[in-house]
């Protein structure tokens, strides 16, 4: 008996064939040429060889190419296949389950295949989130402060200065000339800065371990999904019964 993963492989092909024919049938219903026919004849009042020739020439017959029932029956035959595949997939999914392991222990028991498929996609998004996690500046020696719930770096010191004016003697005074003096500025230390940097970022090790965990989970969820897809297909079809109900008004 086929397994779920085999049915899933065929699902797109069957559905695509039905969708294509569905669009073609819609266009067909919009073109009266397929469903209209006629017979046009001429009967002359006098029976003469010439009139017989005219009657033969005037004869125009266009048969009906198809009818609504035949058109629907043909289209819904593909729909029947597509509906059976959808039903079998959904019915099998109800029983397709697998355990998710994490580091040799069962993390979640009997998760449905749809949950596993969705979980795989959501964990991939979580991985992107973890990759964006900011990390501590590796050039600093950080320690965790539980009181402020963040990391603290050693104090950094600096000085506060202010400029003061000081005289600079350019030339000493002589008996003939006074001293030449120019004003200049100098930075004078007037205080000391102390900066203590704090950060709520993660350590590079924390980030690496978090990414490792989500990668391990992704692998295990993929394995579980593959095991769940080994479920045997539900051996039942509903398409033909459904088509008989749909076509009954046209019979």
Lowest mean pLDDT among 69-78, 175-184, 214-223, 241-250: 175-184
- Strand-pair category, 180-195 with 156-171: antiparallel
pLDDT tens for 34-72 read 889 989 999 999 999 999 999 999 999 998 888 989 999
Looking at 131-176, which runs of residues are DSSP E strands?
143-145, 150-152, 156-171
- What does the mean pLDDT of the chain come to? 92
What is the predicted pLDDT for the residue at 82? 94
* H or E element, residue 195: strand 180-195
115: closest CA among 146, 140, 93, 89?
93
Q: How confident is the model at residue 159 (pLDDT cuts 50, 70, 90)?
A: very high
* pLDDT at residue 238, rounded to an integer: 92
Position 169 confidence tier, pLDDT thresholds 50, 70, 90: confident
Alpha helices in 59-198 (DSSP H): 68-93, 113-131
Report the number of distinct structural domains present in the chain: 1
Q: Extract the tokens encoding 57.
A: 């020439």
Residue 196 lies in a domain: no
DSSP 103: T
- Residue 13 CA to residue 105 CA, distance in Å, equals 38
123 in a structural domain: no
For residue 248, pLDDT beyond 80: yes
Let me know if residue 239 belongs to a domain. Answer: yes
Burial (CB < 10 A; 0-12, 13-18, 19+), residue 107, is middle
Q: Do residues 170 and 219 lie in contact, with contact meaning Cβ atoms separated by under 8 Å?
A: no
Shortest CA distance to 164 belongs to which of 182, 187, 191?
187
Condensed to tens digits (0 to 9), the pLDDT of residues 94-152 reads 889 999 999 999 999 999 999 999 999 999 999 999 999 999 999 999 999 999 999 99
Q: Which two tokens stand for residue 84?
A: 């059976």
- The verdict on residue 103 lying in a domain is no
Q: How far is CA 225 from CA 75, 100, 176, 182, in A?
A: 34, 9, 104, 86
The answer to whether residue 131 sits within a structural domain is no
Q: Is residue 41 part of a domain?
A: yes
- Positive or negative, the CA dihedral 138, 142, 144, 147 is negative
Question: What percentage of residues in the chain have a pLDDT greater than 90?
Answer: 75
Where are the alpha helices (H) located in the chain, listed in sequence order?
4-29, 49-58, 68-93, 113-131, 204-228, 239-247
Residue 220 lies in a domain: no
Asked whether residue 165 is domain-assigned, the answer is no
The burial class, CB within 10 Å (0-12 / 13-18 / 19+), for 85 is: buried
Reported as a pLDDT band with limits 50, 70 and 90, residue 196 is very high
User: Model pTM greater than 0.85?
Assistant: no
Which band of pLDDT confidence, cut at 50, 70 and 90, is reported for residue 241?
Answer: very high
pLDDT at 99: 97
Task: Determine the structural domain holding residue 247 and report its residue range.
Answer: 1-96+234-251
């Amino acid at each position: 008996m086929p397994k779920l993963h085999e049915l899933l492989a065929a699902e797109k092909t069957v559905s695509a064939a039905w969708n294509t024919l569905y669009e073609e049938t819609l266009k067909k219903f919009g073109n009266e040429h397929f469903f209209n026919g006629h017979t046009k004849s001429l009967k002359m009042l006098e029976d003469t060889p010439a009139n017989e020739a005219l009657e033969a020439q005037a004869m125009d017959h266009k048969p009906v190419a198809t009818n609504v029932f035949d058109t629907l029956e043909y289209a819904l035959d593909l729909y029947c296949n597509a509906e059976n595949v959808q039903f079998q997939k959904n019915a099998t999914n109800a029983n397709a389950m697998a355990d998710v392991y994490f580091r040799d222990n069962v993390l979640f028991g009997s998760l449905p295949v749809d949950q596993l498929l969705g979980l795989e996609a959501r964990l991939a998004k979580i991985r992107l989130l973890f990759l964006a996690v900011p990390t501590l500046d590796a050039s600093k020696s950080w320690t965790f402060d539980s009181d402020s719930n963040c990391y603290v770096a050693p104090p950094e010191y600096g000085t506060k200065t202010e400029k003061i004016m000081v005289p600079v003697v350019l030339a000493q005074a002589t008996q003939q000339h006074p001293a030449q003096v120019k004003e200049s500025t100098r930075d004078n230390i007037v205080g000391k800065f102390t900066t203590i940097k704090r950060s709520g970022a993660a350590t590079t090790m924390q980030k690496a371990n978090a990414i490792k965990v989500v990668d391990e989970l992704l692998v295990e969820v993929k394995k579980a999904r593959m095991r769940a897809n080994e479920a045997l297909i539900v051996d039942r079809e509903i398409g033909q019964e459904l088509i008989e109900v749909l076509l009954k008004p046209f019979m």
